[in-house]
Structure 1
Amino acid sequence: MSDSQRRQISGFSNPTIKRLKSLREKKHRKREGHFLAEGLRILTEALDAGKTPKLLVVVEETELHPLAQKLETETLAAGGEVIETSEAIIAKLSGKTNPQSIIGIYEDHPAPLAELDRSSSGIWLVAQALRDPGNLGTILRTGDAVGAGGLILIDDCVDPFSVEAVRASMGAIFTQQIVMSPWSEFLDWLRSGPGQLVGTSLNTDTDYQSATYAPPTFLLVGNEARGLPEDYEEACDMLVKMPMMGKADSLNAAVATAVMAYEVLNQRRK
């Protein structure tokens, strides 16, 4: 790809660089409707999922990997822009001292709850008041791994399009449908069609491996510190728990989601 098709930016004060850096903050992401993803692996996963960056940022005077060259070609072909800049500016955009050499800017893509096709998958992941972006990203990876239909975020969750969550998702942000919904709206939607709501809780004697999961199964995990509210548990079709053989009383939210998702998947495989 000819460098003449790139726009070169060398100054930290450039308005474009300032705008891209602002995408590290939620209020600016919401205003712009765009988010930042970094690294060749994640951007390649996006391309494989049919997502092309609106803007691609590459390090100047660096020979691009063939996959990065493909990204550049596809970005330009789709009407996007390619910017060439310094490693120092890339680091400023990334927020890391050892940044990846390529960054993409994408349109965020939350899906409306009403448009979800619950029959498209036998497993759906649901998280309530999740606060840690690493957990959110890991849950997205789990969803991709088990072939889940997507992740439904209930109430006030961490932004799935934050740099940290996108990084932790390792590209699953582009393969999983993401919905953000208040609890009451989600429950009304769920009860309007088929769907088994299964909550993880210590307030039950039902072992997660003894339960029978009916598709589509909606696996509900609560806040990392507080778990699920009592009325949310009461609304579930079934509560299950995983055995805790040590002194800890609960698993990390992302780990618990993965254990549950694979149990549901394994029942279907049998």
Structure 2
Amino acid sequence: MDTFERDIERSHSKNNGDSSLKGNWSVLFVDEQGRVLRVNFIKVIVSLFFVLAILSVLFISCAISFYFLRQNNTKPLKMRLEKLTNENNLIKKENEKAKAKLALLNQLYSKDSPDFSGTSGLSKEKELSGTGEKSFSDMAIKKEAIKKENDFQNKKYVDIKDLKISKGSDFTKIEFNIVKTASSEENVSGYIFVILWSDTMDEKDWMVSPYSVVLDKKPADPAKGQFFSISRFKPVEIKFLGRIDLDKYTNAKILVYSEKKELIFEKVFPSSQG
């Protein structure tokens, strides 16, 4: 301890006696042997500045390297995301086009709508093919639409099969299968009537089941008929209650109307058919 104090006093005295060191700041350090070391204050500040500058450069370099490394790692993900976004937009556009086509086809060839313009199937095919699209799916849609139009124009909706007439003590029953003949995939729906009459009768004496007033040899309100909806075929049974003399009502006919109340099928047969 005494040696340490003497070294400090000696250094202080030396500094006070040396006029060249007056006005200069120094930093004193003590080494492991207890010797006092003097270092110029300016040199200490400059050294600290350089150390801090080097540390700052190292920190900034590490930060920049980390940033670019992260950017390089996320760049493939961003490119993949952009690609998926573009593909999704293309799919949306194609979906909108398909919906527009279906809406147009549904408008032109709506279910149970036999009223089409006089355009033939061939001219309609040319009109549809004028879009310039040649894909297989588009051609299939066009062919289906043309078939459906031709079915409507030719009234090829339904047919009657396995017709049978039977009598009971207080009823007359007419049974048959209504069969879909249209080539389109949609169900065919509508209303069915059976009329019994003879050529010598007035219309007011005709028998209609389900009941409806007869006007111009047809039911006045088609919506009062027996409703049906078929994808292939359906058994139908229509009864006339009461005792009926089929020798008096010599004729029978089946009338089929669409849901839009348009006659799409008519079949006349002798009431004696059994």
TM-score range for the pair, normalised by the shorter chain length: under 0.3
Q: Give the TM-score, by structure 1 length.
A: 0.21
Q: Which has the larger radius of gyration?
A: 2
**Whose strand proportion is higher, 1 or 2?**
2
User: Per chain length, whose mean CA-contact separation is higher, i.e. which structure has more relative contact order (CA < 8 Å, sep 6+)?
Assistant: 1
Structure in which a larger fraction of residues adopt helix: 2
